[in-house]
A = this chain, B = another copy of it.
Amino acid sequence: MTAMLVIVCYDVNTETAAGRRRLRRVAKVCEGVGQRVQKSVFEFQINLMQFEELERRLLAEVDLTQDNLRLYRLPDSRGAEVREHGTFRATDFDGPLVL
């Protein structure tokens, strides 16, 4: 199957310890498959089957009453243009959350 560009972004409510755990688990699911491009944005080059599997795994981690998860599926990644500006602060991502 053809690879597509998939963008996944999430807002997880980190007011509770459970929320911060969800945030880490969502990131972990994404890290195994895609490329982190921002704190809560990942890009993927995956096929439709992998996309469905990714969505299923993410839905198993989030709390739909508290979090927001968005998946953009671009069947023809050649048509999409990505413009990136500025620094990539990957070092901050996995430290303990100070809130």
Interface residues of A (CB under 8 A from B): 7, 9-11, 13, 37-41, 55, 59, 62-76, 79-89, 98-99
A76 CB, nearest partner CB in chain B, Å: 6
* Complex interface: chain B residues within 8 A of A13 (CB): 89
Q: In the bound complex, do residue B86 and residue A68 qualify as a contact, i.e. CB atoms below 8 Å apart?
A: yes
With A64-B86, A79-B75, A87-B64 known to touch, is A70 a contact of B38 (CB < 8 Å)? yes
Q: In the bound complex, do residue A11 and residue B80 qualify as a contact, i.e. CB atoms below 8 Å apart?
A: no
User: Who on chain B is nearest to A58 by CB?
Assistant: B85
* Complex interface: chain B residues within 8 A of A88 (CB): 68
A74 CB, nearest partner CB in chain B, Å: 5
